[in-house]
Structure 1
Amino acid sequence: MAHHETCPVSGLQIDDLATAPNMEYEGKTLYFCCPSCQDTFLEDPDHYLSGSASHKSGCH
């Protein structure tokens, strides 16, 4: 069974981790559905990791 991650910005499921934008943050690898979501995350990482952030729509 394949391992899936969820983009912390858009909330979309990421199926292909090999090609997804990713980064290390506080010892954990985070995966993003697109480079735009990674840029948005970097503007306020704690906001997106808090669990209270609403997901961004139209990221592509």
Structure 2
Amino acid sequence: MAKDPVCGMDVNEREAAAKSEHAGETYYFCSPGCKVEFERDPHKYLGEGHAHHPHH
């Protein structure tokens, strides 16, 4: 299992709604919206550990 860096949800890599590559790592997302948020500002999510947002 992977962890969605935006909302913190566990995501099955084979069933992820979206994925993105950043700095040689692949990140998996529970929804396309989380991928958009991540790509807008990846350092915001990678630097803070677990980011929790009220939209989930």
- Normalised by the length of structure 2, the TM-score is 0.82
Identity within the alignment, %: 33
Counting matched residue pairs gives: 55
Quote the residue 1:28 is aligned against.
Answer: 25
- Which residue of 35, 41, 49 maps to 2:46? 49
Higher strand share: 2
**Gap runs ≥5 in structure 1:** none
Give the deviation of 1:52 after TM superposition. 5.2
Task: Say which is worse superposed, 49-58 or 36-45, in terms of deviation.
Answer: 49-58
Give the deviation of 1:18 after TM superposition. 1.6
Superposition RMSD in Å: 1.6
The 3 A distance-change label for structure 1 pair 28 and 35 is: same
Quote the residue 2:4 is aligned against.
Answer: 7
Instruction: Give the structure with higher Rg (CA).
Output: 1
The code of the aligned residue for 2:30 comes to C
- Normalised by the length of structure 1, the TM-score is 0.78
Higher helix share: 2
Quote the residue 1:38 is aligned against.
Answer: 35
**Gap runs ≥5 in structure 2:** none
